[in-house]
Amino acid sequence: MKPALKIPTPVTLGLKKSFGFGDRLGLATPGHLAAARQSDFAPIFAQQSIREMARTQRTPEAVLRAAQTALAAARYSKTWGADADHLKTLEDVEQTAAAGYTFFTLDPSEFVNNGADRLSALELEHEIAALARDGAAPELDWRPFYLNQRFEVGPRLTLEFNQEKLFRAAAKYGRAIAHGVKMARHIAKACQGRPFEIEVSVDETDSPTTALEHLFFGLELKRRDVKVVSLAPRFIGEFEKGIDYRGDLERFEKSLQPHVAIARYCGPYKLSVHSGSDKFAAYPVIGRVCGSLLHVKTAGTSYLEALRVVARTAPALFTEIAAYCRSRFDADRASYHLSTSSAEIAALRPFHGPADEGLYLDERVGRQLLHVTFGSVLTAGTDAKGRRFKDSLLELLERHADLHRDLLERHFTKHLSLLNQG
């Protein structure tokens, strides 16, 4: 009788540079593991946001169990993490803590005031007064802590607040910080003494996070005794889903350097890059500037590699999925920031077989079409015979497990090697 497989459990990873592998189907871990074995990044194999779980009709337990099963089969014994991603409510925290997650990504983006930069002087004063009235400001007045102070953030970086810049940073992020503090304290309670680590994400906002805003955010977390392992600002340029970085790389590198210095000064904690998949042009810059203070988060790109298996082995099924995605694009794109337009989707040539793989899986328009419609495909989509796309897709991936693993290994080895190239 073979000995029972030992079920591996996730742990905290600390300040080791790390990489999150999102898996929307529960079958990608063998490919993720193959790539991770060739890298010095600490892996997070179970990672899915509450939003994605709802769209794929999965539970926190199911996401974690899928990773554990694959790791047990591979007899993996090294450290790995489990990320409960983009948590917005106390209930989200309770569900994921109970399931055994070790890494909690807090998403207070709904509490960010995206109009803070446009407030008049009078409106700004009213907003600052409202923060104190609503309990979103700390108990002690923070103005003496910031005004007329010089923050020696790095060897060649000194930052100072005047009253307007301080007020605008507080107006923009004050309520988000307060919500993050509330969530962080609930995590400590929900984990009941079990080790955990926290990331705070404000990447899904309208305007980039300035160096002063990041400094304010990081110092306020520290002043309120919230220790974070990573923080995700909104960087300059566009980190769209499923495609490469869009923007000026020289400006991006110049803007990234202060963020790394601030992360070291306020923590230290890692900078987290969200929508981090497929940003191949930016990876050498990110790896070089961030060094070990880096976490990269990916999600939908693994789903696209699963669809690549379909395009190669079952083109008729892929044709039906692509046509269905066209019908869902306008509705499903609502919660994403995309450059791809409905007109471009309409102009996209229908899939006619494996020769069109690149058009749909390597080019911007096709990739974003498939990326944003994943929830509809996996929960509501059916083929001409009435069979759910999800059932056909999972069956196909099981049948072509080696191809699926090899495609994922190739894809993520490219990610990880370019990050280390810097």
Token pair 């900078």 in the structure block, residue? 271
Most confident residue range from 142-146, 204-208, 382-386: 382-386
Question: Looking at the domain assignment, is residue 271 inside a domain?
Answer: yes
Question: Looking at the domain assignment, is residue 226 inside a domain?
Answer: yes
Question: Looking at the domain assignment, is residue 147 inside a domain?
Answer: no
233 CA to centre of own chain: 11
Q: Which of 30-39, 52-61, 127-136, 392-401 has the lowest mean pLDDT?
A: 127-136
At 258-304, the pLDDT tens digits run 999 999 999 999 999 999 999 999 999 999 999 999 999 999 999 99
The reply to whether 272 and 311 lie within a common domain is no
Catalytically annotated residue among 23, 52, 83, 85:
85
What is the pLDDT averaged over residues 312-317? 98
Cα separation, 114 vs 378, whole angstroms: 33
The reply to whether 292 and 337 lie within a common domain is no
Cα separation, 12 vs 191, whole angstroms: 13
Q: Tell me, what CATH number does 416's domain have? A: 3.20.20.70
Cα separation, 279 vs 13, whole angstroms: 24
At residue 21's C-alpha, the angle toward residues 53 and 18, to 5°, is 125
The reply to whether 324 and 358 lie within a common domain is yes
At 213-234, the pLDDT tens digits run 999 999 999 999 999 999 999 9
91 is catalytic: no
The reply to whether 77 and 215 lie within a common domain is yes
Question: Looking at the domain assignment, is residue 199 inside a domain?
Answer: yes
2 — pLDDT class (breaks 50, 70, 90)? low
pLDDT of 288 reads 97
Q: Give the chain's largest Cα–Cα span.
A: 76
Query: Given CA atoms 213, 215, 220, 226 in this order, what sign does their dihedral have?
Result: positive
What is the pLDDT averaged over residues 25-52? 97
pLDDT of 140 reads 56
353 CA to centre of own chain: 32
The reply to whether 243 and 307 lie within a common domain is no
Residue 55 has pLDDT above 60, yes or no: yes
The reply to whether 290 and 366 lie within a common domain is no
Among the listed residues 295, 297, 422, 215, the one whose alpha carbon sits nearest the alpha carbon of residue 15? 295
The reply to whether 284 and 307 lie within a common domain is no
Question: Looking at the domain assignment, is residue 416 inside a domain?
Answer: yes
The residue range of the domain holding 268 is 18-113+163-300+412-421
What is the pLDDT averaged over residues 8-17? 98
The reply to whether 338 and 405 lie within a common domain is yes
pLDDT of 153 reads 98
What is the pLDDT averaged over residues 1-28? 91
pLDDT of 422 reads 76
335 — pLDDT class (breaks 50, 70, 90)? confident
Question: Looking at the domain assignment, is residue 326 inside a domain?
Answer: yes
At 373-404, the pLDDT tens digits run 999 999 999 999 999 999 999 999 999 999 99
Residue 15 has pLDDT above 90, yes or no: yes
Question: Looking at the domain assignment, is residue 153 inside a domain?
Answer: no
The reply to whether 80 and 176 lie within a common domain is yes
85 is catalytic: yes
Catalytically annotated residue among 199, 203, 240, 356:
199
Q: What is the mean pLDDT of the chain?
A: 96
What is the tally of structural domains in the chain?
A: 2
The reply to whether 235 and 285 lie within a common domain is yes
Quote the tokens at residue 407.
């495609």
Which H or E run includes 288?
Answer: helix 283-290
Question: Looking at the domain assignment, is residue 67 inside a domain?
Answer: yes
The reply to whether 323 and 243 lie within a common domain is no
DSSP state of 241: T
Q: Are 286 and 244 in contact (CB under 8 A)?
A: no
pLDDT of 3 reads 63
What is the pLDDT averaged over residues 242-266? 98
The reply to whether 310 and 167 lie within a common domain is no
5 — pLDDT class (breaks 50, 70, 90)? confident
* Whole-structure pTM value: 0.96
pLDDT of 1 reads 53
